[in-house]
Each structure stands twice: as C-alpha cells, then as structure tokens.
Amino acid sequence: FSCNLSDLLCSFPGLLYQEYRDKSTREEIETRRLQDSQTDTEETSPSEETPSEAESTSTIENKTPPQINLLRNSNSRFNLWQDLPEVQNSGVLSILQPDEIKLQEAMFELVTSEASYYKSLNLLVSHFMENERLKKILHQSEAHILFSNVLDVMAVSERFLLDLEQRVEENIVISDVCDIVYQHTVNHFSVYITYVSNQTYQERAYKQLLQDKPAFREVISQLELDPKCKGLSFSSFLILPFQRITRLKLLVQNILKKVEEKSDRESTALDAHKELETVVKACNEGVRKMSRTEQMISIQKKLEFKIKSVPIISHSRWLLKQGELQQMNGPKTSRTLRTKKLFREIYLFLFNDLLVICRQIPGDKYQVFDSAPRGLLRVEELEDQGQSLANVFILRLLENADDREASYMLKASSQSEMKRWMISLAPNRRTKFVSFTSRLVDCPQIQCVHPYVAQQPDELSLELADVLNILDKTDDGWIFGERLHDQERGWFPSSMGEEILNPKIRAQNLKECFRVHKSDDSQRRKLGSRNRQ
C-alpha cells in the first residue's frame, strides 16, 4: 500500500503543491491573455478530416489499449497526459477528437495536482510536525492548535489519490474521475471543514509562538532553509488544505466545461461540483464564524449608548463595514459656507442587519447616538455640487432609534470610499454594470494577475486567474466585482487584474459559468415555483 504510493509520488515532477499550483494558474493567465489578444478566434473548418465520436470510440475499442501503470513509471517526468510515452506510443492521439484530448488533460491535471498536494502535506508532517526539536519546544495543546487534524487530512488525500491512481491505470484513455471525487467528497472530505475552521486560532497561535518562543522561531527558520522546502515558508504549508479544497472545485469546473452536454460524465461532474461547493461553503463559514464572534465581542465592549441600548452580539449578526465619515452640520442653506465646522466626524458600524451611528470618544470608545435596521436604509448620491461637496451622499434612515425618519449628509474621503459605503448601506441599489446573475449577454470582465488579500470586510480576496464581472468601478482605482466561479462580491484594487477585452472570450466565460451552475439554477427555479404556490 505505502510502497505503491511511494512509487506513485516518484513518478511526478519534483514540484511541491505550492509550485504546481502557481505554475498552473500562471499558465491559465497566459492562455487567457493569448485568447484575448486574438480578434477572431480560429475555428475548425468543417472540411478538416476529424473522425466522428462514433468512429473514435469504435476504433479505440478495436485497438483495446493495454492496461498500463502510468503512475508507477519512475522514469517519466510528465506534465501533460498527451506527453506520456504510453499515450504517444499507443496511437490514440490520432484517433481522439481535440475536445476529448482537452478533457483527458483536465482529468489528468486533477490527478497529478493531487499527487503534488499529497507530497507537500507529507513534507508538512514529516519535516515540520514530526521534527524532534520542535516536539520538545511545543506544548501538546500548542501543537494541536498549530497542526490541527492534518494527519486526518493527509490520510484522506492518500485514499483519494490511490483511487485516482487505480482509475488512471485501468486504461490509457481515462473514463472519468468525477465519480471518485463525488464519493470522497461525500464520505471523507468533512475533515477539511474541521481543519479550515481552526484557521483563525492556528494563525494566532503561530504569531504568538514566533513572538514568545525564540527557540521555536529558530527551529522553524532552520527547517524552512532545508532544500526540501524549496524556499517556501512554513505558513504556506499550513494553508495547503484550504487552498486545495478550493482548487479542487475549480478543477472539477474545468472538467465540467469540457464534457459532453447531457452525458453521464456531465452528470457525475455536476454532482461532484455540487458536493465540493457545499464543503467549500462550510469551510468559509467555519472561518468566518470563529473570527466574527470574537470581532462582535470586541465591538460590544467599545460601544456606549446615548440612546436606548441595542444588543450587538448575535449568532446571526456580523460586521460588514466600519469607518469614519464626515457629517454635514447645520441647515441645507448653509451648505455653501466655507467653514471648517461645515462637517463633523462620525463613526459608522454597519452590520448585516443593523447600522449603528457613533461619535468617537476618549479611550478608544464610541458613543452611539442613532441606529436603524439595515433594511430601512436608503442612499442618494449628490452630483455636481462643487469641490467642497465632492464625494458627498445622503443617508436616509426610514425608521431610526426614535422611530422616526432621519437624514444624514455624509462626506467620504474619496470617490471609492463613497461608493463602497453606498453599496454596503444599500446592497440592492443598482450598480453601474449589471451582475452575472441577470444573464446579461455581455459585461466588462477582469482576470486576476496578482493575488490580493482583503483588508476590509467589504473587500474580496483574489486568487491568480480568478475571472470577475465588473459591476462598478471608481476613478481612483477600485473595482466592485462578482467572481464567476462562486458569485462572491467585493471591492479590490484595479491594479490586481487585467480587463478582458475580447467579447468572444467574455461570452465564453459566461456560457461556461452558466453551465457549471445550471444545477443550482434548476434548484432555485423549483424553489421559486414552490414559493409562488
């Protein structure tokens, strides 16, 4: 069992998962750049001689390719399925249609990337977790927080990889992998939720250990310098499981885009994708729940109510945005007065269901003087009001803390900050461009070429090669986008991406996205019809 797995790992290129993933996403970016630069996409001419699907299948069956140990050939150093000597020597590449070869590559990438991922997990355990010097430094509880259930995660990856290996060895032409993905996601992948949900505590424990234990810091630095780690940090190994479960969903999406419509392979890919999406959402919720609870407790301690107190902490409440704005003082007739007292600082805490308006007071405290349910907020932008009223908007509370309507004229520090507040305060307000979910034929799109980590709750973290619809943009370099593969929305700097200019590529991206999420759509339609009844 372990010997087979060892042979399997030897057969792959010497890339750790971090390197493999980076290489793969960079290639994806370059491919999209190349497609985007072409004004007319070349299409296969009908006159070109390509065997029909029936002919291809028939010829393959007649040739009956031998069973081969693709993954146990320790001499091979391959990246692509079609580069395998066994595939090239079989003659199958001249028989299969181009679309089927692309599908084979997509399935093969899922297998090879899992092998690379397992290799990195193995290094995290053997090189870091089981290091004798590190064991002596860490208390048992510290080690548990730092490494969590990584042994369970690695065991799950091992079983998954062996099943994938067996499938690839059955035949040169891979029949399917999504049925295996489905079975493992349903039966085993819950270990990812446990690991990822611990992420907040894991990060905090790591920072604390670096700060409090010089011996820990020294050992980690020495271990990171080992050639095995290829210059990669310890923290890059710790975040592997979350990166992998997210990437696995995208790899299944890639397969789904290439399988025949209304085929068995499409059905298994849709099933696998749906289950993976459930796990990824649970992982995200696990992380958010841990950090949100602590954040709400911290905010509650800082608030002092001038009005009737509102209980802040709730399991169903979380922070969307907080920050300082300038409130205009005096009646509307005094708007044009050039005085420093025209605006006064106020501080807003916006939760998913509640707005709290405060003034900052000494001791890092905030005095609450008004509040309103988020559903009873309306915003209105002021245009062409002169420089003194630039980036000013009206916030209306249809029912405030005194059960009456109230209006605030607020000034933001920049155009992007104003738009971000307006979209957060009134999320159903129409954006400049229509969203993906409206099924717009064409919409501005951008692909991420630099990863971005969200700094504020209303921002969106980006991974390399993410494709997003642009819903709104500002003159000072910010974009409000909706990611196609999961419909997550948020703000990010425009410098993180490159706009996709070719309308054919944008249309193709949307078409593929609709196909991936069509099972979700049918569920929503069923639910909608039931609700109407």
DSSP 399-432: S-TTSS-EEEEEE-SSHHHHHHHHHHHSTTSPPS
d(CA 414, CA 475): 10
Whether residue 287 contacts residue 199, with contact meaning beta carbons closer than 8 Å, is answered with yes
pLDDT at 419 over 50: yes
Maximum Cα–Cα distance across the chain: 89
Which CATH architecture best describes the domain 5-33+80-293?
Up-down Bundle (1.20)
pLDDT at 286 over 80: yes
In whole angstroms, how far apart are CA 162 and each of 150, 166, 322, 496? 18, 6, 48, 38
d(CA 137, CA 144): 13
- Percent of the chain whose pLDDT exceeds 90: 65
Q: What is the pLDDT of residue 46?
A: 37
- Candidate CATH numbers 3.20.190.10, 2.30.29.30, 3.40.50.2030, 3.40.50.2300; the one for domain 306-332+339-425: 2.30.29.30
d(CA 208, CA 206): 5
* CATH 2.30.29.30-classified regions of the chain: 306-332+339-425
pLDDT at 451 over 60: yes
Q: What is the pLDDT of residue 434?
A: 56
* CATH 1.20.900.10-classified regions of the chain: 5-33+80-293
Identify any residues that bridge with 303 across adjacent strands, giving them in sequence order.
Answer: 366
Sheet order of strands, 445-448 included? 489-493, 478-483, 467-473, 445-448, 497-500
Mean pLDDT of 201-225: 96
**pLDDT band at 293; cut points 50, 70, 90:** confident
pLDDT at 483 over 60: yes
d(CA 275, CA 280): 9
pTM of the model: 0.78
Mean pLDDT of 379-408: 87
Whether residue 252 contacts residue 268, with contact meaning beta carbons closer than 8 Å, is answered with no
Whether residue 442 contacts residue 506, with contact meaning beta carbons closer than 8 Å, is answered with yes
Comparing 315 with 265, which gets the higher pLDDT? 265
d(CA 255, CA 265): 9
Average pLDDT over all residues of the chain? 84
What are the φ and ψ backbone dihedral angles of 174, each rounded to 5 degrees? Answer: -70, 125
Comparing 51 with 113, which gets the higher pLDDT? 113
Q: Which residues contact 384 (CB under 8 A, 6 or more apart)?
A: none
Chain centroid to CA 376: 31
* CATH 2.30.30.40-classified regions of the chain: 445-531
**pLDDT band at 25; cut points 50, 70, 90:** confident
Range from 90-104, 393-407, 429-443 carrying the lowest mean pLDDT: 429-443
State pLDDT tens for residues 348-358: 999 999 999 99
Q: Which amino acid is at 91?
A: G
State pLDDT tens for residues 78-112: 578 998 888 999 999 999 999 999 999 999 999 99
Mean pLDDT of 386-406: 89
Closest CA to 105 of 128, 84, 85, 81: 81
Handedness of CA 264, 265, 266, 271 (dihedral sign): positive
pLDDT at 74 over 50: no
The domain defined by 445-531 folds into: SH3 type barrels. (2.30.30)
